[in-house]
């Protein structure tokens, strides 16, 4: 699929993603907040939160369900998601897999990108400049990406599966 088709396909999940993100970032306060301060819900952060979303087809979940990927290169040289993330753009990455019918999400993760950036840079230093994760090429040659094992970055992730 080209970018437009890919975006149109993944946008069908935006309504569900909004509900999940709302559940993750809106919480019930301690009882004293309700009693003393008229507070029934707390939004964890009130300023703009930038969330990147990536949804993959169900057929990839069994083999790649324990990882998330970030586009790292394009033959054209255009700026990729990894470059934008390392530059400081984005607060969270919502990464999920569609169910077999491609109507709902079967599995998802919310990755804290500030924590990911810190982890990524620490790994670069630890590995003497070698990129963490596994660099892979798309079969059609349209781009490269890095696959990161969820287990390697466990503390950065809030996840759920059906």
| Cβ-contact 77, 37 below 8 angstroms | no
Per-residue pLDDT at 103: 93
Tens digits of per-residue pLDDT, 8-53?
Answer: 999 999 999 999 988 888 888 889 988 888 888 888 766 778 899 9
Per-residue pLDDT at 128: 95
Tens digits of per-residue pLDDT, 113-130?
Answer: 998 999 999 999 999 999
CA 44 from chain centre, in angstroms, equals: 18
**How sure is the predictor about 5, in pLDDT bands with cuts at 50, 70 and 90?**
confident
**How sure is the predictor about 154, in pLDDT bands with cuts at 50, 70 and 90?**
low
Q: Is the pLDDT of residue 156 over 90?
A: no
Instruction: Please report whether residue 36 resides in a domain.
Output: no
Per-residue pLDDT at 158: 60
Per-residue pLDDT at 161: 47
Instruction: Please report whether residue 149 resides in a domain.
Output: yes
Domain that holds residue 99: 48-161
Per-residue pLDDT at 162: 43
The percentage of the chain sitting over the pLDDT mark of 70, rounded to a whole number, equals 93
- Count: domains in the chain: 1
Per-residue pLDDT at 157: 59
Tens digits of per-residue pLDDT, 72-84?
Answer: 998 888 899 999 9
Tens digits of per-residue pLDDT, 106-115?
Answer: 999 999 899 8
Instruction: Please report whether residue 42 resides in a domain.
Output: no
Instruction: Please report whether residue 21 resides in a domain.
Output: no
Per-residue pLDDT at 45: 67
């Amino acid at each position: 699929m080209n970018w437009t088709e890919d975006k149109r396909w993944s946008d069908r999940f935006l309504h569900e993603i909004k509900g999940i993100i709302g559940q993750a970032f809106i919480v019930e306060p301690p009882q004293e907040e309700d009693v003393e301060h008229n507070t029934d819900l707390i939004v964890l952060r009130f300023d703009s939160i930038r969330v990147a979303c990536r949804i993959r087809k169900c057929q990839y979940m069994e083999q790649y369900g324990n990882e998330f990927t970030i586009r790292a290169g394009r033959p054209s040289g255009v700026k990729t998601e990894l470059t934008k993330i390392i530059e400081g753009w984005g607060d969270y990455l919502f990464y999920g897999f569609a169910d077999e019918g491609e109507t709902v999400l079967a599995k998802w993760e919310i990755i804290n990108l500030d924590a990911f950036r810190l982890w990524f840079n620490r790994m670069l230093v630890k590995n003497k400049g070698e990129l963490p994760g596994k660099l892979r090429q798309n079969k059609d040659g349209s781009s490269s990406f890095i696959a990161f094992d969820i287990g390697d970055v466990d503390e950065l992730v809030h996840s759920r599966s059906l």
